Amino acid sequence: MINDKATREAALNAYRQHTGREYVPKSGPHDPPSLRDLAGLGLDRTYGDSWSRPGLDMRTKSFICMTLTAALGCDDQLKSHVAAAHNTGITKDEVVEWLIHLNGYLGTPRTNVALKAVREVWAGMAAK
């Protein structure tokens, strides 16, 4: 069910384009075998169901994902999306404009939390 081959392949392609690297499933040393189903699900339901579709450009999808993870307060996910955004050509200045747009709609506290995450991504990029 959650192992449809065509979806998985489309997901892996979209993941590669978006992040600039191959998908490597994360696993923990104490995971039960069933956890593989969840990992596949997370990949298929985002990259397979949506990123692989041509109807909306990757740039727009990047801003949507950055916005959602900032609104939900999911900092690790926000950092992944900001890093991937830079990989696909979104500039630092555009990320700043995005933060300025957030400020009025989401308020200053959540925007500052997002800014902190963004700065950690920039520090990581500079360290490479």
Binding mask 25-54 for a copy of itself (x = CB under 8 A): ---xxxxx-xx-xx--xx--xx-xxx-xx-
User: What is the nearest approach in angstroms of a copy of itself to the Cβ of residue 87?
Assistant: 16
Which 71-90 positions form the footprint of a copy of itself (CB under 8 A)?
71-74, 76-77
Task: Please give the structure tokens belonging to residue 47.
Answer: 């990259």
Which 6-25 positions form the footprint of a copy of itself (CB under 8 A)?
6-7, 10
Give how many residues touch a copy of itself by CB under 8 A. 69
Residue written as token pair 């990320």? 95
Among candidate residues 84, 93, 109, 103, the one with its CA nearest the CA of residue 14: 84
Quick one: which of 13, 93, 117, 128 contacts a copy of itself (CB under 8 A)? 93
User: What is the nearest approach in angstroms of a copy of itself to the Cβ of residue 21?
Assistant: 18
Determine the Cα–Cα distance for residues 80 and 5; give it in Å rounded to an integer: 25
Quick one: which of 18, 65, 79, 84 contacts a copy of itself (CB under 8 A)? 65
Q: Answer for the pair 81, 95: CB distance below 8 angstroms, yes or no.
A: no
Could you list the residues that contact a copy of itself (CB under 8 A)? 1-2, 4, 6-7, 10, 28-32, 34-35, 37-38, 41-42, 45-46, 48-50, 52-53, 55-56, 59-61, 63-65, 67-69, 71-74, 76-77, 92-94, 96-113, 115-116, 119, 122-123, 125-126
